[in-house]
Homo-oligomer: A and B are copies of this chain.
Amino acid sequence: MQTLGKKAQHAAQQLSRLETKQKNDYLIALAFELTNQTTTILSANQKDIAQAKNYGIPDPMIDRLRLSADRIWEMAESIRQVASLPDPIGVVEKMWRSEDQLMIGQQRVPLGVIGIIFESRPNVTTDAASLCFKAGNAVVLRGGKEAFYSNQALVHVMQATLAKCELDPAMIQFVSDTSHEIATEMMRSSDYLDVLIPRGGAKLIQRVKNTATVPIIETGTGNNHVYVDGVADLTMAVNITVNAKAQRPSVCNSIETVLVHEAIAPTFLPLLEQTLVSKVELRGDAKALGFLNHGVLATEADWSTEFLDYILAIKVVSSIDEAIQHINHYNSKHSESIITDSYFNGQKFLNEVDAAAVYINASTRFTDGFKFGFGAEIGISTQKLHARGPMGLEQLTTSKYIIYGAGQIRES
């Protein structure tokens, strides 16, 4: 870890001085090489899939793990998109003359070395590396054992392409030891890592939070809600709830619970059940069960669980305040949506719900760097420090003040 960290710091210094064109040339070459190596990458991925079934990993998780020619093409496409984004580095966001006649400018600079600890989805490997690279940062990647062969194959392509472009392969490094001990060592390498971004389930995030001395950005836990207000378009409410729950339940921007105002529950819930039945297990509170044929009684634990599966918790509330209170108590501060035709309730929800993204009349599934227009994303921050919500290039930088003087000294 120490040797790797020192190499990363050295590579980060070189990287921070690359011109935009050099960075883009590399990314474009990488996208090309990635599709070029589709067969090799897929056969490595096959090894992981085979093992995942042996490990007894549930199907939605295997969905996250599986690559295809199409997904590799999407990964390459997303790298090309990163290449096409403006370079954030060097931009002076503001500059002013102080009372002491100093010219003070705030300039964007790279963070340095970024560590990524992630699970399952191998596309994280290329998304994270390309974004870190474009923002001028060296990256140290540590994937889970379940995607080991896929990650290894992807990093191999990235490092070989660095060498081809006459760049230091240490700009993108891979921790090939998947043990707990190495992960712990990485979390406490504050001498070498400037930031650590964990991407994965709640357990991983919790472990990193408790262990890391490196500053972290929490990502990815999504215990999200749709609240169907008393006056709402019924079809819209059903469509959004179904989309937010079932279009891809394994991702963090889908929902786990729908809260329904009691005035609309008698018409909304039967419609919802009709659409979801046989596809999604419904766990309702006592009131909700009164309007459902196939629901089971929800437990207290259901309100705070991120199912990541075809399970939906349902609670009937008697007011928007009860809904907001429930959300602010149980949510993971990720994405929340209200379906309403009331102007004031919509505004109230926006103002009072504490989350990275708060919607009126739209699916939570849009909380995503691509959908927000940032290009590929490195994760969705659910913490309040540094970055909140989808993190693109800008969130992978910091700033420094550059100050032009004329001999000024401070008198008091």
Contact = CB atoms under 8 A, between A and B. Distances in A.
Contacts of A190: 209
A307 interface: no
Interface stretch (A35-43, A163-171, A311-319, A384-392): A384-392
Contacts of A400: 354-358, 388-389
A345 interface: no
Contact of A233 (B244, B407, B408): B407
Interface in A162-218: 190, 194-195, 209-210, 213, 215-217
A236 B407 CA distance: 6
B403 A239 contact: no
B360 A403 contact: yes
Contacts of A100: 366, 371
Contacts of A350: 402
Interface string A212-249: 01011100000000000000010010011011100100
A210 B209 contact: no
A186 to B, nearest CB: 16
A362 B240 contact: no
A405 B102 CA distance: 45
Contact of A239 (B96, B384, B409): B409
A190 B371 CA distance: 31
A308 B222 CA distance: 46
A407 B104 contact: no
Contact of A373 (B98, B365, B371): B98
A32 interface: no
A93 to B, nearest CB: 12
A407 B194 contact: no
A310 interface: no
A330 interface: no
A99 interface: yes
A159 B195 CA distance: 37
A292 to B, nearest CB: 22
Interface in A366-412: 366-367, 371-373, 383-386, 388-389, 398-410
Most buried by B among A112, A372, A400: A400
A355 B388 CA distance: 25
A357 B403 contact: yes
Contacts of A407: 233, 236, 239-240, 361-362
Contacts of A215: 215-216, 383-385
A96 B17 CA distance: 32
29 contacts: A17-B351, A98-B371, A98-B373, A104-B372, A194-B384, A217-B385, A239-B409, A242-B409, A243-B409, A247-B410, A354-B400, A355-B400, A358-B401, A358-B402, A359-B403, A360-B404, A360-B405, A361-B405, A361-B406, A362-B403, A362-B406, A362-B409, A363-B405, A363-B408, A365-B409, A365-B410, A385-B385, A389-B399, A389-B400
Interface of A: 17, 96, 98-100, 102, 104, 111-112, 190, 194-195, 209-210, 213, 215-217, 233, 236, 239-240, 242-244, 247, 337, 350-351, 354-363, 365-367, 371-373, 383-386, 388-389, 398-410
Given A100-B366, A362-B405, 14 more contacts: A102-B362, A111-B384, A111-B385, A190-B209, A240-B407, A242-B409, A355-B400, A357-B400, A359-B403, A360-B403, A362-B406, A362-B408, A385-B386, A389-B401
